[in-house]
Amino acid sequence: MAGSSMKDIKLRIRSVESTMQITKAMQLVATSKLRRAKERMENSKPYASVSSEALQAAVARCADQNVPYVTARPVRRRLYIVIAGERGLAGGYNSNVFKAVAAHCGDTPYCALPLGRKAIEKYHRLGVELLSEEYGRVENLSVSRCYRIAGLVTDGYLQERFDEVWLVHTSFRSMMSQEVRTEQLLPVPVTEQKTAESPETVYEVDASEALERVMPDFLAGRLYSALCDSFVSEVSARRMAMDSATKNAGAMISDLTLRYNRARQGAITQEITEIVAGAEE
Amino acid sequence: MAVYHLQIVTPDRMVFDGQAERLIVRTVGGDVCILARHIDYAAPLGIGVARVTDDKGVTRVAACSGGMLSVARGEVRLIATTFEWADEIDAARAAHAQQEAEKKLSAMRKDDVDYALAEAKLKRALIRQQAKG
Domain that holds residue A105: 45-235
CA closest to A226 among chain B residues: B11
Judged by a CB distance cut-off of 8 A, whether residue A50 touches chain B is: yes
What ranges do the domains of chain B cover?
4-86, 90-132
Considering the entire predicted model, what is its pTM? 0.85
HSE at residue A215, side-chain half, CA atoms within 13 A, is: 24
In a domain, A171, yes or no: yes
Beta strands in A19-136, from DSSP E residues, in sequence order: 78-83, 110-115
pLDDT at residue A137 in the model: 84
- Most B CBs within 10 A among A67, A159, A204, hence the mutation to make, goes to A204
The percent of residues in chain A predicted with pLDDT above 70, rounded, is: 95
In a domain, A218, yes or no: yes
In a domain, A213, yes or no: yes
Q: How far apart are CA B51 and CA B131, in angstroms?
A: 9
- The answer to whether the CB atoms of A204 and B44 lie below 8 A apart is yes
CA distance B16 to chain A (A): 11
Residue A224, exposed/middle/buried by CB under 10 A (0-12, 13-18, 19+)? Answer: buried
Instruction: Work out whether strand A202-203 and strand B30-34 pair parallel, antiparallel, or are unpaired.
Output: unpaired
Fold of B4-86: ATP Synthase; domain 1 (2.60.15)
Fold of B90-132: 1.20.5
CA closest to B65 among chain A residues: A217
Quote the number of domains for chain A.
1
pLDDT at residue B92 in the model: 86
pLDDT at residue B114 in the model: 76
Q: What is the CATH number of the domain that holds A215?
A: 3.40.1380.10
- The answer to whether the CB atoms of B66 and A217 lie below 8 A apart is yes
In a domain, A280, yes or no: no
In a domain, A264, yes or no: no
Q: Which helix (H) or strand (E) holds A116?
A: none
Angle subtended at Cα A243 by Cα A241 and Cα A244, rounded to the nearest 5 degrees: 70
pLDDT at residue A33 in the model: 92
pLDDT at residue A1 in the model: 44
Q: How far apart are CA A225 and CA A228, in angstroms?
A: 5
pLDDT at residue B87 in the model: 87
The percent of residues in chain A predicted with pLDDT above 90, rounded, is: 38
The percent of residues in chain B predicted with pLDDT above 70, rounded, is: 99
pLDDT at residue A258 in the model: 94
In a domain, A269, yes or no: no
- Most B CBs within 10 A among A45, A47, A198, A215, hence the mutation to make, goes to A47
Average pLDDT, chain A: 87
In a domain, A151, yes or no: yes
What are the backbone dihedrals phi and psi of residue B22, each rounded to the nearest 5 degrees, phi first? -155, 145
Residue B119 has pLDDT above 70, yes or no: yes
Which 3 state secondary structure label does DSSP give A68? coil
Q: How far apart are CA A232 and CA A178, in angstroms?
A: 9
> Which residues, in sequence order, are bridge partners of residue B16?
B8
Residue A109 has pLDDT above 70, yes or no: yes
Which 3 state secondary structure label does DSSP give A218? helix
CB atoms within 10 A of CB A201: 18
Q: Are the C-beta atoms of B60 and B51 separated by less than 8 Å? A: yes
Model confidence pLDDT, tens digit, residues B68-111: 999 988 889 999 988 999 888 888 888 888 888 888 888 877 77
Chain B contacts of A218, Cβ < 8 Å? 67-68, 79
Judged by a CB distance cut-off of 8 A, whether residue A194 touches chain B is: no
Distance of CA B125 to the CA centre of its chain: 12
Model confidence pLDDT, tens digit, residues A217-259: 899 999 999 999 999 999 999 999 999 999 999 999 999 999 9
In a domain, A54, yes or no: yes
